Amino acid sequence: MNIEISRLSNGLTIVTDPMAQLESAALGIYVNAGTRNEVKRVMGVSHMLEHMAFKGTERRTARDIAEEIEAVGGFLNAYTSREQTAFHARVLKGDVALAVDILADILTSPTFDQTELERERQVVLQEIGQARDTPDDIVFDYLQSTIYPDQPMGWPILGDDDTVSGFTQSDLRDYMGANYRAQGMLLVASGAVDHASIVRLAEEKLGRLRGGAIPQPLPARWGGGDMRKDDDLEQAHLTFAFPGLKQTDPDFYALQVYTTALGGGMSSRLFQEVREKRGLCYTISAFAQSASDSGIVAIYTGTGAAEAGQIAPVVAGEMEALATAPSEAEIGRAKAQLKSGLLMALEKPSNRAEQIAGQMFSYGRVLSPEELTARLEEVDASAVRRIGETLMRSERPAMTSLGPVGALESYDTFARRFGGAVSMRAAE
């Protein structure tokens, strides 16, 4: 990698990552603010703003934005997460300047036109409806609110029907004014790009972004407990979760190895035990999700009504076995999978831009593939065991479910498998 980093006087950071031989580029403006930066009255405003940025600027109508990028065969998209909002483009190399111009335009001069706002509100309400028809989305919304009760970290990214119906132009402007500050923003470009040109473009197009202090979100507070909804679905959608690690934790890579060995691939313990040996599900996976100050380790599966009672004990049993006696072979496989995943991701410019943005926000620098590989290499059985033992002592795991969940064991029974203090929380 041939990373170059520059900073504009307003604080905006520019990272370029040229890839020889490529005919295209991936560019993104990444904003260090998302759902966590909201107050309750405007829950979902980060996501609404992400939509409204595309709905017209001082120089371009919504239709102009769509037509200009697609006229050169480019793709423009965006997403909102709990801590970040990203606006990104894929273009052929001759169109990099246009991509920067459009991305900068929608983030510096959006008009938040009232008529467009009314229409886009309907679109987001439809998006919420679509999520409601996706049980493996809902069960994760349950999980987030069970883990982080009564705090922005636990809110649904889309907001809800009430808040979305109420957004005003000022809500968007206030949120943007407070959170879209140059110090908390990155322009990242991977692929057929050149540092000097990107910096020149950024100076011209993003130099007037406001600097100043960025409000910090409140620390995440783990709640945990149970949320189950008995519903007329085909499958019982289940999650189990435990406190994990923040992104910069020294054990971050050991945790990745742990979750990969637990439920990251075909040879993982959960896949082998739950799907291959018992035939209880089609999908089961474990993963670690890390934020700036906190993290979770979660397991998801979808299973039948009759099978729903059998999953939780197996999950707890495999977690215990992995905490007690991780094998050298399974740790080797997990490390090999993570390493090759990392190397293969380097072949795609959009993955690289994404990864660079994440590292810049977490570490303030870009970690080289060699450094990442070395960190992975260091992980050994004792580190995995240490992670596993800590998880087995989780005092208040979280457990959410949706569908025919009658056979699922009680929260008390499940939590006791992890030796923590237990008290029931009302189901939705």
The residues in 225-264 that bind its own copies, with binding defined as CB under 8 A, are 232-235, 237
Catalytic annotation present for 273: no
Which has the closest alpha carbon to 315: 403, 426, 399, 427?
399
Q: Tell me which of 2, 58, 118, 426 binds its own copies, using CB under 8 A.
A: 118
Alpha carbon distance 126, 208 (integer Å): 35
Give the residue with the Cβ less far from its own copies, 234 or 412: 234
Q: Is residue 279 at the binding interface for its own copies, with CB under 8 A as the rule?
A: yes
C-alpha to C-alpha distance for 364 and 371, rounded to whole angstroms: 15
Sole binder of its own copies in the list 4, 10, 113, 121 (CB under 8 A):
121
Among 41, 277, 365, 393, binds its own copies (CB under 8 A): 277
How are strands ordered across the β-sheet holding 85-92? 4-7, 13-18, 185-191, 24-31, 85-92, 75-80
Q: Please list the residues that pair with 215 across neighbouring strands.
A: none
- In this chain, which of 36, 333, 385, 417 binds its own copies, going by CB under 8 A? 333
What's the closest the beta carbon of residue 318 comes to its own copies, in angstroms? 15
Which residue's CB is nearer to its own copies, number 168 or number 340? 340
Q: How far is CA 14 from the centre of its chain?
A: 22
Rounded to an integer, what distance in angstroms lies between the CA atom of residue 139 and that of residue 240? 10
Among 84, 146, 259, 303, indicate the residue that binds its own copies (CB under 8 A): 303
Residue 283 makes contact with its own copies by CB under 8 A: yes
Give the count of residues interacting with its own copies (CB under 8 A).
77
- d(Cα 279, Cα 303) in Å, to the nearest integer? 10
β-pairing, 295-303 with 75-80? unpaired
- Residue 103 beta carbon to its own copies: minimum distance, rounded to whole angstroms: 14
Phi, psi (deg, nearest 5) at residue 150: 50, 45
Residue 120 contacts its own copies per CB under 8 A: yes
Binding its own copies (rule: CB under 8 A), the pick from 348, 375, 386, 416 is: 348
Helical (H) or strand (E) element with 187: strand 185-191
Rule CB under 8 A: is residue 347 a binding residue for its own copies? yes
* Spatial contact of 16 and 186, defined as CB atoms under 8 Å apart: no
CA distance to 118, 174, 391, per residue, from 62 (Å)? 14, 21, 48
67 binds its own copies (CB under 8 A): yes
38 versus 120: smaller Cβ distance to its own copies:
120
Q: What residues does 189 pair with on adjacent strands? A: 16, 27
Catalytic residue among 4, 38, 50, 273: 50
CB 69 within 8 A of CB 99: yes
- Looking at residues 10 to 49 of the shown chain, list those that interact with its own copies (rule: CB under 8 A): 20-24
Q: By CB under 8 A, which span of 32-40, 171-179, 194-202, 269-277 interacts with its own copies?
A: 269-277
Rule CB under 8 A: say whether 92 interacts with its own copies: yes
Which one among 7, 40, 41, 132 touches its own copies, defined by CB under 8 A?
132
Would strands 24-31 and 85-92 be described as parallel, antiparallel, or unpaired? antiparallel
Comparison of 50 and 83: residue with beta carbon closer to its own copies: 50
Return the active site residues: 50
